[in-house]
Structure 1
Amino acid sequence: MTELNGRTFNILTIKNPTLALLFSFISGCSLVFAFAPFSFWPITFAAIVFWLAQLSNKSSKQAFKQGLSFGFGYFAAGISWVHVSIEKFGGMPLIASLLLMLLLCAYLALYPALAAWLSAKLSKDKQVNLYYLPFVWLFSEYLRSVMLTGFPWLSLGYSQIDSPFSSLAPVVGEVGITFFIILFCVAIAQIINQHHQRMNSAIIVVTMMLITSISLLNFVEKTGKTTNVALVQGNIKQELRWDKKAEENIIHSYIESSKPLYKNNDLVIWPEAAIPRIEPLAQDYLTEINIQVAEQQSSLITGLINYDIDSRIFFNRLVVLGKKQQDNLNGTYYYGNSNHYNKHHLLPIGEFVPFADFLRPIAPFFNLPMSSFSRGDYVQPNLVANGINLAPLICFEIAFPQQLAANIRSHTDMILTVSNDAWFGASHGPDQHLEIARMRALEFGKPMLRATNNGLTAVIDHKGKIIAEIPQFTESVLQTTVELVNGDTPYSIWGRYFDKFLMLLFIMYLMREKLIR
């Protein structure tokens, strides 16, 4: 702190408005290094504290600009991988793909801007009240997760999967971690400002005590039972996945690579849409695999596309082949059986096209193969394979903990997620995707199987730690033993309401303040 003409200035605050916006942008950009594959989690706190210094005491209009600049840097660096799929597989020029990506980033930047604006607009003096920010940030993040079907990617809590803050996940989830990150950073920023030293010191101490005490608790326990699993990573090039000339070779590649696996594994997993043929036309292959797997006393789960002949709609689906229960003597698969899962949360453009009649003629990007799916039910039964109960999610769905919470049951043994991240090439998108999966395993205290087409295929334990994985861009098989657990985390029971509870408390506080005024 320095004294100048009787006024106190924060040494982190940039007084020039243009430079302040630039440094907010840089702070947002630096957050990319907090997430996978870099995973330098301390930078989250440095970046946010520095941004808060630019945000402090700003009017609502100035706060909106600071939030927009911070948010644009945050997402422009963090989801730069989006342009890979647009340019490489969407048939659009590089400039057009970059413009579309930047347009998406500008849209996502509105949410931090909204949080900053509200933290000023709701305060008595109409200047940013940093203590409001953790609460209104929850509100803006909730909107980001539901507006236009939702895009909750790169939420701050994911950056802490390997930090002490991760111990909060089984209690309050990733959203709760995000709240405590903002609160913690506000306390640090206020201490630097020499404001309310006791209050902010107390926030820091209480937060660290909470983290330490929770880290000593075990909410689930190992049952002593284990399951041998094999996950097949076919590494099929994206441009070949729906090539009619290549589909026979793709199917045979999966069949042949899996034959040696059935004898020693209870469960074999193929990735999303591993079979590049719609289910009614793949019956010869599925029947053959069903018999082979059952004869070896095993089970196989594969992704494929179903076309419902009666309703004439497509589903992105998972089906179980081979044994359903351990006492089954034969394979239980037949077309139309109930032991399947239809993807519910579809990816805009990739799996359905809003305003399709208008957008599809504009560019190949809006007319990608298999981009006309219908939604499965929000709540569906667990898949049952060889006596193992699995709560399934396909690709993008892993970013929505509310959906997983609605589908986990007391008898659920594991979480299963399958994906095809070939769309994003050698970018950091697939690493971020795996990071999100790790957080879901930790939140719900369940082992997770993650099978992908070209990486990163992994098995994750109930503490969010990677047991084994396959590198990207390799054709390989991951075989490992998974320890099963019993019990429920607090988050799986009530923790997903934590953000709503805090927002309700904040609204009640604001109403009280208004009445007092």
Structure 2
Amino acid sequence: MRRVNDRVALWSSRLNPPPWLGDALGGVMLGLMFLPSPLAVLAPLPLAMLHHRLAHSTAGWGAFRHAFAFALAFFGVHLAWLPISMAAVLGPLGGLLTVLVLPAAALTWAVPLTLTRVAFGPRTLLALPLAWVLLEALRTQGPLAFPWGAPGYALIQTPLAQLASIGGAALLTLLVTGTASVLAGLGGSRPPVLLMGLAVWGAGLVWGREVTPPITPAPRTAVLVQGAIDPRLKAQGRTLNEFQIYLDLTRRALRSGEADLAVWPETASPLPASDPGVLPALRGLGVPLLLGAPGDVPGQARNSAYGVDGEVTGRQDKRVLVPFGERLPFSGVLGGLYTPVLRSLGMAGYTSLTPGRLLNVLPVRDLRAGVSICYESVFGQLSRQAVRAGANLLVVLSNDAWFGQGAGAEQHFQMGRLRAIETRRFLLRAGNDGVSAVIDPWGQVRFRAPRGARGAYRVTFDLSTIRTPFVLYGNWVVWASALALLMAGARLIRNPGISLRPISSQALDTRADHGERCQSTGPLYGR
């Protein structure tokens, strides 16, 4: 037996894994759940692994290594489709450059989580869920805004998603990461903490099921048009042939009956809807339309949506542009760097789009459409603003053909479903090659067109004027989290001894192979 134990010890020493491997495996697990997958509801489990390691790490570099390895592995899996799709569009160099998004995205998680460990010491597990809420809110801001992978979206396919009508995606993120902290502290926490967590999940599941009604017929009819035009052909030069495809598809769908609305996707028309060469043809369809087309502001390139009912009834310009896709961030400073890269990609004439500044709810008869153009559908505040301005219907015009056939389009679609729940509005989604769909106010997919198929689909929908707590009070979860962190930080400042003592009452046990480890004999939630 002793000889066997000696051999096991020898092989263990030889196979001793690097310290980052466990973090990376946890990130891979979370990434596989977010592809998306029905297993996404289990996201608190790999996040609990991360929270446990952060709470037991040495503050600073040790915490950063854990957080960065986890985040890099997660985004490497979650965004694996991105360099592949960009390589197909821009060539190998374009795909290679897109790989840089992965460590950049990982830093947006790793840095705030490390700062949380440094600032809150023994109270790290308590602070982490609040920090997650804030960091995800920050990821929706600025020229590099990229909220892909927010933990709250793990619940989109469960009844718990109905909580978004109360506190938006931030409340779901708080629930997922709060559960992760509870699980991470099981070894030292009191049983009531676990019971309270189970009670919250149970109550959320029951309430979510109760408020979700059975699907009943909706009284209004819309035509969703999916042109399935190769985006590479659009990049080579826009033609009126694209426009004719959409006209023909719409006419064909209207032969079987009238409709209250027709919806075309992002950039469906190569010319502005107000152009004399386009508007008469749109008027001749005899149906109100919402469509994507270039903006009609002289001297500016804009990505816009139009309402048309005989005449143009309104225009909404895309306000949140895709970083490095529609806009080059910090081009005033980095122009010298962008120029040779764009030339290498065959895009020497590239110019950034001009973002819209104003919110315009598009009126089409008694419809008041809050329109999100493609990327904008992952920003809950835009839909909330539209509903507060009177929108009784949400519409997403998209062109996910750039994503290829990978998971990107599906992730985009699933994230956008939450906008319907947050506002309790029907959401009509028209995509160039999909996902074209109808989402009801409870996030249920009532219709979904085949991806990549060319067609026009008659669907039903309804209008709503109710206002949810999220619409009324917005990001109250974010502000409450910020206030709670400030109060906790102030308490630590008043009692510096608390913040300086290690997580446990024992000294740090530094190991040569791992670099850091903290053994805890008491609760990890502070005192």
TM class, shorter-chain normalised?
0.7 to 0.9
Counterpart amino acid of residue 392 in structure 2: D
SS at match of 1:485: coil
Q: 1:142 aligns with which of 137, 143, 163?
A: 137
Structure 1 stretch displaced more, 485-494 or 442-451: 485-494
Asked if 1:185 is matched to 2:180, the reply is yes
Partner of 2:40, secondary structure, is: coil
Is residue 252 of structure 1 aligned with residue 244 of structure 2? yes
Among candidates 491, 497, 501, match of residue 470 of structure 2: 491
Does the CA-based 8 Å contact 2:292-2:306 persist in structure 1?
yes
1:372 aligns with 2:356: no
TM-score (normalizing by structure 2): 0.83
- What secondary structure is seen at the aligned counterpart in 2 of 1:319? strand
> Which whole-Å CA distance do the structure 1 matches of 2:87 and 2:217 have between them?
49
- Check 1:353–1:491 CA distance in 2 against 1; reply closer, same or farther (3 A cut): same
Tell me whether 367-376 or 76-85 shows the greater mean CA deviation: 367-376
Aligned pair partner of 1:357 in 325, 335, 350: 335
Q: Which has the higher contact order (CA 8 A, sep 6+)?
A: 2
Distance in 2 (alpha carbons) for counterparts of 1:411 and 1:148 = 28
Equivalence map 1:54-453=2 (5 Å): 54-60=53-59, 61-91=61-91, 93=92, 96-123=93-120, 126=121, 129-191=124-186, 193=187, 195-212=188-205, 214-215=207-208, 218=211, 226-244=219-237, 247-262=239-254, 263-278=257-272, 282-290=275-283, 292-294=284-286, 298-309=287-298, 312-322=299-309, 331-333=310-312, 339-354=314-329, 355=331, 357-358=335-336, 359-364=338-343, 365=345, 367=347, 371-377=351-357, 379-409=358-388, 411-453=390-432
Instruction: Write the distance in 2 (CA, Å) between the matches of 1:199 and 1:100.
Output: 49
Residue 12 of structure 1 is matched in structure 2 by none
Cα deviations by residue, 1:131-167 (Å, 9 ceiling, x for unpaired): 2111122222222222433111111111211124213
Distance 2:159 2:349 in 1: 43
Q: Report if the CA contact (8 A) 2:219-2:462 is conserved.
A: yes
Structure-2 separation of matches of 1:145 and 1:17: 40
Q: Deviations over 1:323-365 (max 9, x none)?
A: xxxxxxxx123xxxx6111111111222122327321332354
Relative to 1, partners in 2 of residues 1:47 and 1:219: Cα closer, same or farther, differing over 3 Å? Answer: closer
Question: Using the alignment, how far apart are the partners of 1:495 and 1:208 within structure 2?
Answer: 23
TM-superposition CA deviations, 1:43-62 (whole Å, max 9, x none)? 31221123333333111221
In structure 2, C-alpha distance between the alignment counterparts of 1:344 and 1:404, rounded to whole Å: 12
Amino acid at match of 1:439: L
Letter paired with 2:419 = R
Structure 2 equivalent of residue 32 of structure 1: 31
Deviations 1:183-229 (A, max 9, x none): 111112222x2x12234224313422541464266499999972200
* 2:525 aligned residue: none
Contact 2:212 2:442 in 1 (8 A): no
1:475 corresponds in structure 2 to 454
**Cα pair 1:219 1:489 within 8 Å, conserved:** no
Closer, same or farther in 2 for the Cα pair 1:176/1:452, shift >3 Å? same
Any idea what the Cα deviations from partners look like across 1:230-281, whole Å, max 9, x if unmatched?
Answer: 100000011212444x72321211111111334421100110000123556x
Q: Is the 8 A contact 2:218 2:460 kept in 1?
A: no
Separation in structure 1 between the aligned mates of residue 277 and residue 104 of structure 2, nearest angstrom: 47
Q: Helix, strand or coil: the match of 1:361?
A: helix
Could you tell me which amino acid in structure 2 is paired with residue 132 of structure 1? A
1:20 to 1:269, Cα distance in 2 relative to 1, 3 A: same
Q: 1:29 to 1:101 in 2, by over 3 A?
A: farther
Partner amino acid, structure 1, of 2:433: N
Q: Which moved more, 1:429-438 or 1:99-108?
A: 99-108
Does residue 466 (structure 1) correspond to residue 473 (structure 2)? The answer is no
Give the TM-score normalised by structure 1.
Answer: 0.85
Deviations 1:46-102 (A, max 9, x none): 2112333333311122111100001101111111222134312224x2xx4454233
SS in 2 for 1:392: strand
SS at match of 1:440: helix
Stretch deviating more after TM superposition (169-178 or 398-407):
398-407
Shift of 1:321: 2.0
CA–CA separation in structure 2 for the residues paired with 1:369 and 1:391? 33
Residue aligning to 1:328: none
**CA distance in 1 between partners of 2:48 and 2:488 (Å):** 25
Superposition RMSD in Å: 2.7
Percent of aligned pairs sharing the same letter: 23
Instruction: Give me the whole-angstrom Cα distance separating, in 2, the residues matched to 1:408 and 1:390.
Output: 9
Question: What amino acid sits opposite 1:451 in the alignment?
Answer: A
| One-letter amino acid of the structure 1 residue matched with residue 483 of structure 2 | L
Q: SS at the partner of 1:389?
A: strand
Partner SS state of residue 407, structure 1: helix
Give the conservation status (yes or no) of the 8 Å contact 1:230–1:477. yes
**More deviation, 140-149/366-375:** 366-375
* Alpha-carbon distance in structure 1 between the residues aligned to 2:253 and 2:494: 68
Structure-2 change in CA distance of 1:486 and 1:223 (3 Å): farther
